[in-house]
Amino acid sequence: MALPCIEMLAAVPDILRGLMCEVSDDDACWKPAADRFSIAEVLAHLSHSEGHCYRARLDRFMAEDRPEFEPDDAQFHLELYRDADPEDAFDHFEDQRITNVELLRTLTDDTGDRKALHKAAGEITLNQMLHEWTLHDLGHIRQIAELVRARKYLAGAGPLGEDYHLKP
């Protein structure tokens, strides 16, 4: 038996690629409102989180007994996401994800029971972090899907789109 969530984590780049198959750079940089993320910013956030949050925590789970983690708040990194190039952000995310999944596939089941102290959530296991990592990804997949729906397809649906109440 393998650690949980690995196949979903591995699938995320392909899911994102499919969602964005008809998205131009202009579409990717479109913001539905000043206080909302564009697709490019979501991709930059995913790329940043992949290395600076999830991989860093994974490495510490493996190297330390009960490491302590600070909460990760995307609001602290907004400047990194502004003006992101969507292709560069996606490519960097995908490269990191491939490497991270390769590492996860080498770990044994009992590794998932390793513990850490999350300063906001309390004691967590690696298995729990893998589930949260997947929740994080799926939330951003949903976010990107909603941005794509609003930017690429709603207006083209004409009167058929009037019943869709999108909130990208």
pLDDT per residue of the chain (168 residues) written in tens, 0 to 9:
689 999 999 999 999 999 999 999 999 999 999 999 999 999 999 999 999 999 999 999 999 999 999 988 766 667 778 889 999 999 999 999 999 999 999 999 999 999 999 999 999 999 999 999 999 999 999 999 999 999 999 999 999 999 999 999
Residue 19 belongs to a domain: no
CA 20 to chain centre: 15
Q: How far, in Å, are 22, 30, 130 from residue 48 at the CA level?
A: 24, 20, 17
From CA 53, how far away is CA 72, in angstroms rounded?
7
Q: What is the DSSP letter of 65?
A: S
Q: What range does the domain containing 124 cover?
A: 43-104+112-154
Residue 18 belongs to a domain: no
Kind and range of the H or E run holding 154: none
Residue 59 belongs to a domain: yes
In this predicted structure, what is the pLDDT of residue 30? 96
Residue 143 belongs to a domain: yes
Residue (of 89, 102, 95) closest to 20 by Cα position: 89
Residue 28 belongs to a domain: no
Residue 90 belongs to a domain: yes
Residue 133 belongs to a domain: yes
Neighbours of 91 (CB within 10 A): 14
Domain CATH number, residue 81: 1.20.120.450
Per-residue model confidence as pLDDT tens digits over 139-155:
999 999 999 999 999 99
Contacts of 137 (CB under 8 A, 6+ apart): 8, 9, 12, 46
Residue 20 belongs to a domain: no
Predicted model pTM? 0.95
Question: How many domains are contained in the chain?
Answer: 1
In this predicted structure, what is the pLDDT of residue 54? 97
